[in-house]
Amino acid sequence: MKKLKVVTVGGGSGYTPELIDGFIKRHAELPVSEYWLVDIDAGKEKLEVVGALAQRMVKKAGIDMVVHLTTHLEEALIGADFVTTQIRVGQLAARIQDEKIPLRYGVLGQETTGPGGFMKAQRTIPVLLALCRKMEKYCPNAWLINFTNPAGIVTEAIAKYSPIKSLGICSGANSMMRDIASVYGVEREEVYARFIGLNHLIFADRITVNGEDVTRHFIEQLAQGVGSHRLKNVPNLGLPAEFIRALKLYPLSYLKYFYMSREVVEHEISELQRSGTRGEQSLSIERSLFELYRNPDLCEKPAELSARGGALYSDTACSIISSIYNNKKELHVVNVPNMGTTPDLPDDAVIETNAMIDSLGAHPLAYGRLPTAIKGLIQSVKAFEELTVDAAITGNRQTALLALSVHPLVPSVEIAEKILTDYLAANRDYLPQYQ
């Protein structure tokens, strides 16, 4: 079995122990012998802390894996088989600004949805395309597995502007299926759900447990509050029962941002005054985590890591990497170009849906027409995503304004203009394309 070289860009992230844990658990089927953690000079201290923990975890597991730490990307990329990305350009300080600025104007501040997702994409896309250019030189046959948010928008930029083989992943669908499993008292592997939509905007319209269709029953459970989908980074506000019954679909928690936008904005403003934005809360959690990571006796992923959103993503990531490497032909939910999956979106538009994963990559399952109840929302957000990619590539302010103006959560062009002006001023150091 060929040994693998895996590179994680953004290796100093507090999430890295999740990935390490995933690779350790799967080492028999995923023989990673070289694991490189890469970060920028500004993140060197965090890289060293996380890297030392990773090395202790590997040593305790007794597996044949060497963990390398470096701030030299090119060195790490040479001959890599898989490259994963979990970067945060501008770090959590930029996220906090992304969240706070829209709230000034009564608009949702969230790092992946609406204006926050737009701004994060503007900082991130140029950096990841620069990474792709280096991969073309040093590891042209490697797979790029992107976790960096906004995952769908970033994946679309890579698919359109780089020949590098890539997939975007998110733990949202996995989390939803775990919630289904908990309602029926079964293991996650006994649940199947058919998903369609965009990253952080997906719906399940067919749910089976051990092959039995439970869609209608589960939707009723949702309406009654028995079943639910809750993410740590999404306000715990319930959708009205009659709306759930009318929708006849299982929506990801992020859909509350669209279906309960007034209530969510009120909640976020209240949270801002009480305990700060989610970014500020994450900063506090991260500081606590790194205090734990510094303990030389810690040799495993700490339980406290689950307090951050996305704690399940290592399972998602490692399963998909294993499916590619081992040609498993497993079904996973990924971000991938539409390519005829639904005729209601362009073929090159990246969607989040079920796909068969083999050594050649992701093959999305045919879906057909989008349900009328969600078609308009998906199409309007996709228009926003396409304009967001164009703005990030060109640095054209007019395109950026259009992107913000067409998003369903932005109430007027005037407010879009104000948010954009504030964003560009606050992010000047990270936006060379706008200079």
Which residues are the active-site residues?
Answer: 254
b vs e for 62-97, b when ≥16 Cβ sit within 10 Å of the residue's Cβ?
eeebebbbbbebeebbeebbbbbbbbbbbbbebbbb
Number of C-alpha atoms within 13 angstroms, CB side, residue 89?
Answer: 21
Which strands form 4-9's sheet, in the order they lie side by side?
66-70, 32-38, 4-9, 82-85, 143-146, 165-168, 330-337, 350-358, 361-364
The angle, 0 to 180 degrees and rounded to 10, between the axes of the packed helices 397-406 and 413-426 is 130
Alpha carbon of 37 to those of 66, 80, 302: distances in Å?
11, 12, 19
CA angle 190, 232, 317 (to 5 degrees): 50
CB of 183 closer than 8 Å to CB of 250 = no
CA angle 273, 175, 270 (to 5 degrees): 10
- Residue 421 makes CB contacts below 8 A (sequence gap 6+) with none
CB of 228 closer than 8 Å to CB of 222 = yes
Length of the chain as a residue count: 435
